[in-house]
Chain A
Amino acid sequence: MGNKKILIVDDDPDIRQGMNVRLKANHYDTFFAADAFSSMVEARKHEPDLIILDLGLPAGDGFIVMERLKKIPSLAVIPIIVISARDVRVNRERAVKAGAKAFLQKPVDDAELLAVIRQALGEPAQPPEKLEVYDA
């Protein structure tokens, strides 16, 4: 069975690169988009198993992307995880209403992100690749 495909949508190249390293290490194939427009192009091209979506994007925000995805039957079923630096109080509810499976606040805890991804993909919950806790 091939690796699951994840589309990472974030306008910050550093975040995309970091996410790429983390997801590759967990055997996911990654694709990228940096704005609302190219996220639709990439989603059509690769039909990913999951989309990780930032809210603040050029050319229309994450909510617009979710709206557009929902209009295309083949893409409407793709689970979406929203990751944003925006105020969780306002945006979690809005994101979930718009169809997101989860809302994670930046900076994201990697173990949590991986757990949420596995759940969204219907994969068995595995221990994160390393179980050490770094809390001082």
Chain B
Amino acid sequence: MKEKALQVLLVEDNAGDVRLLREMFSKEKPDSFELTHLLRMSEAEIHLAKGGVDIVLLDMGLPDGHGLDTVRRAHAVAPGIPMIVLTGLDDESLAADAMKEGAQDYLIKGQIENRALPRALRHAIERHRMQTETDLIRTHQMQFKDEFLSHVSHELRSPLSAIRQFVTILLDSLAGELNLEQREYLEIVLRNVKQLQSMISDLFEVTGVQAGKLRIELQCTSVCDAIVYTVNTLQGAATAKGITLSSDIECRLPSVCADPTRVRQILIILVDNAIKFTPANGAVKVQAHILEEDSNLLVLKVSDSGCGISSDLTERIFERLFQASDPALAGRKGLGLGLYICKELVTRQGGKIWAKSAPGQGAVFSLTFPIFSLPNLLAPALRKERRTEVPITLVVTEIGALTGWLSDEVRADRCREIRHLLQQCLHSDLDVLLPKMGFAGAVELIFIVATTDGIGGEAISKRIREQLDSCEHIQQAGLTLSTSYRSLEAIKRNASESMEDFLEKVATNIQELMNEEIASRMVKNG
């Protein structure tokens, strides 16, 4: 069978070099190579984008491209095509860098031996093929690993489910009274079942992190609520171990821009860890205050009086599968995923997490969240000069009167969908959809601030109603939805006023209107 000619693209502006290379190709079997020659990088980019090239021979000094830049550009247009760079004698280190950027090989001009060129081309193509194959196998392996973990955790849940069911049936005396010893042993079983359950959840969470499935919904979140929730949840566990668990929260702490369920999740992991590593009669404390160095950040601290962490480990503990080397300190080990999950969650909410400690002196875990700031949210819509003197309309969407309405999670799901729908009603840079404003209970409020160019609240309100009405399953869920609007009088920006001050002024006005709105609804809904 006759082999197809290899399509070679030569990008070279030096006529002498071109002639030499052409001569070399002419000695090869006819039809084994087909050479296309171009002078400029820009031409090469167009040609490569069209496809059909098997390999590129690239000069690194072109009229419109130089050095590694040429390699990057070629690689950007055609990442799947092998490349050999042509370089001068004194540029070998540059050529080595080119290989790091994705070139398969380099040839030194004037030093190309007879017959070396076709061999280099074929090797480069083969090497590239093998590399691609290895990458592909790796991707498949990672996918397989994720699917495998997901499958295993699923399969483990079913038998665990039955164990938990029957243990609680026994503990609740549904199968007869237990004596004290029996009760104690069954409580140990249940505790271990819960431990297994949380390990399985961690596994699920991690496969989610890796597959990019982590769902984070930023909103105006009260850190105090999260701390109170965490302390209440884990107080029992702390007391059982003889540990004092307390919190110290500055009053009038601002809200943060974060996902409330994720903040709770992070705190639970950290406080649970702290309790685990603290001996009896110790103390675990949760604190929160504004970061001194940056007033845009709120810092949360979980400190314990436990065994501490040696300084060389304070970073490594956040690695996946990291575990304390001395299991005696931690009692039973977990999977080593908790802190890794924490770090991922904090980072994805725009914060940082770090640990400070010394062995025997306890540990302090600190994490930051960006403070929720109305002026910052309004900034994109108000930045432009022409919009500094427009009337602002506040459209309020209320989701409420939840007949036949069940778990908080279902409600949260519906609210998420509605929020998504509202997002579609916005006029890109004129309107701002504000996050939920810390209003829990049977009614959810979602506000839209619209700085419209004369469309008016009525029009937006109508637009939103139409979107919501078209969504059948939201209707079926037994929800009531209402939208209403209120207009803020035009707020003028004084000539002497800075943009920051102006935004602050607008934000204060909006905040007042929203507070009024929330208060009136709370009265209305009891």
Contacts and interface: CB of A to CB of B under 8 A. Distances in A.
A102 B172 contact: no
12 contacts: A12-B158, A15-B165, A85-B154, A92-B410, A96-B414, A96-B477, A107-B161, A107-B163, A107-B165, A107-B193, A134-B191, A135-B236
Interface of B: 150, 154-155, 157-158, 160-166, 168-169, 171-175, 187, 190-191, 193-194, 197, 204, 208, 213, 215, 236-237, 240, 404, 406-407, 409-410, 413-414, 473, 476-477
Given A25-B174, A134-B187, A93 B413 contact: yes
Contacts of A134: 168, 171, 187, 190-191
A1 interface: no
A101 B406 contact: yes
Contact of B165 (A22, A89, A99, A130): A22
Which of B150, B164, B193 counts the most A-chain CB atoms under 10 A from its CB? B164
Interface string A1-25: 0000000000010110011011001
B406 A116 contact: yes
B188 to A, nearest CB: 8
Interface size class of A (residues with CB under 8 A): 35 or more
A87 B204 contact: yes
Interface string A86-128: 1101001100110101110111101000001001101000000
Contacts of B173: 130
Interface of A: 12, 14-15, 18-19, 21-22, 25, 79, 85-87, 89, 92-93, 96-97, 99, 101-103, 105-108, 110, 116, 119-120, 122, 129-130, 133-136
B157 A85 contact: yes
A127 B213 CA distance: 36
A18 B162 CA distance: 7
Contacts of A19: 165
Given A89-B213, A130-B172, A108 B161 contact: yes
A86 B200 CA distance: 12
Contacts of B194: 135
A93 B162 CA distance: 25
Contacts of B204: 87
Contacts of A101: 404, 406, 410
Report, nearest first, the 9 A-B pairs whose CB atoms are least far apart. A18-B165, A85-B157, A14-B162, A107-B161, A106-B161, A107-B164, A136-B191, A102-B406, A102-B407
Contact of B172 (A103, A116, A129): A129
A22 B168 CA distance: 9
Nearest to B175: A21
